Structure 1
């Protein structure tokens, strides 16, 4: 039995964590945006 998280529910969670991290440490903005874009790109390729 495996538990899978649908990509549709993963994107809002990642967005929320990234937003909170940016609020707490604004200097991390470039890294957070880059990681977010890479993650969304990978998820898009996997679903392709």
Structure 2
């Protein structure tokens, strides 16, 4: 079995988890946005 992470499948999952977390605890918004930006930046750098 091979598990691959495609950006086409990863973004909706991240968005769904972030949306639920923000609904449950609105104070997490800053941390969720920061973590998302860091993850997207690291993934972008790794493709080069």
**TM-score normalised to the size of structure 1?**
0.80
Higher RCO structure, 1 or 2 (CA under 8 Å, sep 6+) = 1
Q: Give structure 1 regions of 4+ aligned residues with deviation exceeding 3 angstroms.
A: none
Query: Residue 45 of structure 1 corresponds to which residue in structure 2?
Result: 45
How many residues matched?
A: 48
**Please, which runs of 5 or more residues in structure 2 have no aligned partner?**
none
RMSD between aligned alpha carbons? 1.3
**Please, which runs of 5 or more residues in structure 1 have no aligned partner?**
none
